[in-house]
Amino acid sequence: MVTRRANPRNFFGRDEKDRIVHAIRQAEAKTSGEIRVYLERKAKGNLLGCAKKVFEKLGMTKTKLRNGVLIYFSLLDRQFAILGDQGIHDRVGDSFWHEVVSKIENRFVQNDFVGGLEAGIQEIGESLGKFFPRRSDDIDELSNEIQQ
């Protein structure tokens, strides 16, 4: 069992970060939507409120189709929130988010944080692909690197 420190820089090892970034790249191969993971030591106050602030701060409201999705992960308390931009809310229902959340939770409860993020990212990519298919002239509008 790996002991993890709630430090956004080294909570995940290099191989684990690679796996997460790879999952984002794979997911974005199916959709024009942009997916990002943000690591916080600990959310200060309301989780969703913190995620919203980060969403703005990272410039995630600036995608052309307003189809960015953020997985915000508060490391110390192992809590996460998923936030999608306006373009997504106009199209997908609540069931979409519940599905993604349960995919992640199923792994997180087993302390499989990389697997949880991978599963969530994959689910987001597949669902977004239906509403926002990737076009041949797609641009990677938001870097796939893990944010902190």
Decide whether 77 or 138 has the Cβ nearer to Ca ion: 138
Query: Which position has the token pair 């926002």?
Result: 132
Decide whether 16 or 34 has the Cβ nearer to Ca ion: 34
Binding mask 121-140 for Ca ion (x = CB under 5 A): -----------------x-x
Binding mask 86-115 for Ca ion (x = CB under 5 A): ------------------------------
Decide whether 76 or 139 has the Cβ nearer to Ca ion: 139
Q: Which residues bind Ca ion (CB under 5 A)?
A: 32, 34, 138, 140, 142, 144
